[in-house]
Amino acid sequence: MSKFSSHNFKGQKALIRVDFNVPLNDTFEITDDTRIKAAVPTIKKVLNDGGIVILMSHLGRPKEGPAEKYSLKHLIKHLSELLGGARVLFANDCIGEQAGLTASMMRPGEVLLLENLRFYKEEEKGDEKFAEKLSKLGDVWINDAFGTAHRAHASTAVIAKFFPAEKRMFGLVMEGEVASAEKVLHKAEKPFVAIIGGAKVSDKILIIENLLERATDIIIGGGMAYTFMKAEGGQIGNSLCEQDRIDTALEILRKAEAKGVCIHLPSDSVIADKFAADAQTSMAPSNNIPSGWMGLDIGINACEQFSNVIKHSKTILWNGPMGVFEMHNFQHGTKAIAKAVAEATESGSFSLVGGGDSVAAVNQFGYADKVSYVSTGGGAMLEYFEGKTLPGIAAVQE
């Protein structure tokens, strides 16, 4: 693979797989442009070098071919604005004559946006012929779509075989994601704490197992902590519990002990008499929750207990909220952890927040720019932490 930042794109057509899967409202206005903004530095570098940019992406989940609702044409105007008024052309078919002809007539400094890749079933099937047709549009292929890196689709992985190693590379989004994930998984300075929360143990087993090989401490919060409490013989009332994962929880605790990894469970909880924003609330030890009550957030002591571990860690990985942070009464724990991670970062630790709801939480509570890195790829980052090889990364590197 080639290194994006040291490549000169002068006179070259850069075919860039971006993740422009943004939410649109009923009148096709973009309601969150984070993903488009993220790709701007990559696009600008190619344009500033005197190159031509050809963008390909998916949008939504079209089922039966082309559909107005999922057309990327709705993004043209905003994309051009974000690029400082650069000319953005559009091809209403991502392959075929028009796309080929437009691409061949473009001038340096111009951008061509191709129509939604998923209007062809071949994209998700990873069809080789479809990938080959796409590949003809560019001189180099850049993968900058971390959000789909865990999928072996035509434009994210299969296309790689049509470009020699020196003409394949990561864009700046991918470079950042891969570098920060590698830093945590393979070059972590110790102590290394992984903070794992969220609803279910079953969703996080593979991550925890992989982290048992790497971390010095694992903090377990959120709904999943109660399955562990129950496994240890605690009373958890009506708290979330995956009965069929109790053995798994015990196995994880046993493995951690054998490996010398310290597992931290919340000593106390904010409890509620129902799963609702207006529930009555109280505090209780997490292993002694009265019947009829449920733990919906970590308690004050647990916040202090976890914050202390975080403060003494040099590397921090955070995935999953500590409680039902969507409801005001149960967001204190997640906020306290976000604050502790931000403070540790300020004192020189490296912190990576990745995967779904913890990213939403750091954004919501205003801590996104106080941690070292916030990952944009939910599912992709989860699979990375599980230790899997991501096809969109391997395709560029191999």
Amino acid at 311: K
299 touching ligand AMP, by CB under 6 A: no
171 touching ligand AMP, by CB under 6 A: no
Residue 82 vs 196, nearer CB to ligand AMP? 196
Which window, 13-21, 92-100, 193-201, 382-390, contacts ligand AMP (CB under 6 A)? 193-201
321 touching ligand AMP, by CB under 6 A: yes
Q: How far is CA 207 from CA 96, 215, 322, in A?
A: 42, 11, 17
Q: Which residues are catalytic?
A: 35, 200, 356, 379
The CA distance from 321 to 242, in Å, is 18
Structure tokens at 221: 């919060």
295 touching ligand AMP, by CB under 6 A: yes
Which window, 108-116, 145-153, 154-162, 316-324, contacts ligand AMP (CB under 6 A)? 316-324
Residue 99 vs 271, nearer CB to ligand AMP? 271
222 touching ligand AMP, by CB under 6 A: yes
The CA distance from 181 to 186, in Å, is 8
Contact with ligand AMP (CB under 6 A) among 49, 127, 326, 343: 326
The residues in 45-84 that bind ligand AMP, with binding defined as CB under 6 A, are none
Cβ-Cβ contacts under 8 Å for 101 (sequence gap 6 or more): none
Contact with ligand AMP (CB under 6 A) among 138, 223, 354, 378: 223
Which window, 39-47, 149-157, 195-203, 377-385, contacts ligand AMP (CB under 6 A)? 195-203
CB of 354: closest distance to ligand AMP in angstroms?
11
Q: How far is CA 20 from CA 60, 121, 380, in A?
A: 9, 18, 15
199 touching ligand AMP, by CB under 6 A: yes
The CA distance from 218 to 221, in Å, is 10
Residue 52 vs 353, nearer CB to ligand AMP? 353
Which residues contact ligand AMP by CB under 6 A?
198-200, 203, 222-223, 240, 295-296, 320-321, 323-324, 326, 356-357
